Structure formats: structure tokens, C-alpha cells
Amino acid sequence: MTAPITWSRSALAALERLDGKLFATTSECAAVLRYDARTVRSAIEAGEIPHVKYGSTYRIPVSWILEKAGLSGGNPA
């Protein structure tokens, strides 16, 4: 069973949650990149997004997310 999301799905809220973390959930990745979470999972399964599998969930490197969002210099906040 998937835990409910208890944070705002805005890109800014997701970026704040990722500060200091190495990996993000598919929901956090989707919020930052403004994709649908199903699109992120499909891209992971197709090998287009680097990831690690943690239990039954996927985790995406925050550094990759920031690079794709054009924020590789770090969090703008």
C-alpha cells in the first residue's frame, strides 16, 4: 500500500523537501519536473531515469532531478 502524500505537490514545496537529501520519491520527482507520477515511473521502467529500488518503491537521485530542472548549482531558495 502506498502512503498518502501529506505535503503540497508544488515544485517549490518538493524542492524544499529535497534539501539535504540524496534521493527523492517518484512523487517528488514528478512535482519538481512537473510530470505526472505515472510518467516518471514509466520512464524509470524504460531505463530513462536513473534510480535505485528501495523495497517496492523507486528512488531517484536528487542531483539528477536538479540537473534536469536546470538547478544543478543547488537549490535556488
Sign of the torsion angle spanned by Cα atoms 47, 48, 54, 55: negative
pLDDT tens profile 10-28: 788 888 888 899 999 999 9
Enter the CATH code of domain 11-68: 1.10.10
**HEC readout, 47-71:** CCCCCEEECCEEEEEHHHHHHHCCC
Residue 69 sits at the vertex; the CA angle it makes with 74 and 8, to the nearest 5 degrees, is 85
State the pLDDT at residue 2.
56
SS3 23: strand
- The residues spanned by each domain of the chain are 11-68
Residue 66 half-sphere exposure toward CB, CA atoms < 13 A? 20
Q: Over 80: is that where the pLDDT of 33 sits?
A: yes
